[in-house]
Amino acid sequence: MSIKVIGTGSALPKKQVTNQDLEKLVETSDEWIRERTGISSRYISTGETLASLTADACERALENAGRRAEDIELLLVATCSPEREIPCVACQVQSAIGADCAAAYDLNAACSGFLFALNTAYAYVEAGIYQNALVAGGEVLSKIVDWTDRGTCILFGDGAGAVVVEKCEQGGVLGFVQHSDGARGDVLRCDSRALKNPYVDRPMETEFVLMDGRQVFAFAVRQVPAVIQEVLDQTGIKVEDVDLFVLHQANQRIIEGIAKKLKADLDRFPVNLDRVGNMSSAAIPVLLDELNRQGRLKPGMKLVLSGFGAGLTYGACVIEW
């Protein structure tokens, strides 16, 4: 028993911010950004909320799947940038789309979040608890980015993606691997509200994303090929048998490094980060939706999905489309 993706959807804010736009905010240039990241533009919220973007993505996924919101049994949202501590984004989305019968909650594994949420849905279905799920990844990272720091503000974008999955007897998710390295979590972090009560008042160190770019790059280029090989060994599938590697869209140089280590052709690594930037947990489902709507995903194709990011968290799965 497994789960199969039967529908995809995505949503981006209306405002597109180019590298030339960022030249007006910080000391940088289009050439500098593209050379180091591969990013030319990203979409930034000017009022769209995480809940509204995720609800739009979920509705499009349901439409693509030919399913009704009221038939969904489980609704999971992966995010690290909610507007509210409570209620969770998944409950806000549930209300917005009318998925009244769904159990709904959020997960936070940062850039690996969508992959971890997909695995959670798989576990529920395999256990016989639910027959289907709506799994989303969404972020409005622009509100936790320091727009005076050219090392981070050039990277991130806002958006949401979602998939509808259902129980299947053959195909679908063929294997999963997940890992975490919390001891190195400080290389990519963002502090929450500081401890403040009648007995203590601690100042917040920063409200923005802090990142050691070199450490994150080294981690990704080392661990992602290893975890992809691990899940391929688990499923008995060879690198050359994978049709597409749908990776977290963090940096073009990281993707190139992963492809080189796997000795796989770069044309099997689709990208959209040049247009949308790094959207953390939204990156994989948004790219998956683009590939689906472009007609590039055919029945029987084997896909490797891999996410990596803050935590540090990383993982991979193999899907038969």
Enumerate the active-site residues.
111, 248, 278
What distance in Å separates the CA atoms of residue 133 and residue 122, rounded to the nearest whole number? 9
CA-nearest of 318, 307, 271, 306 to 108 is 307
What distance in Å separates the CA atoms of residue 227 and residue 313, rounded to the nearest whole number? 11
| Cβ-Cβ contacts under 8 Å for 226 (sequence gap 6 or more) | none
The Cα angle at residue 103 between residues 98 and 105, in degrees rounded to 5: 100
| Cβ-Cβ contacts under 8 Å for 164 (sequence gap 6 or more) | 5, 6, 7, 8, 61, 62, 64, 65, 67, 72, 132, 133, 134
| 303 touches 243 (CB < 8 A) | yes
| Cβ-Cβ contacts under 8 Å for 170 (sequence gap 6 or more) | 2
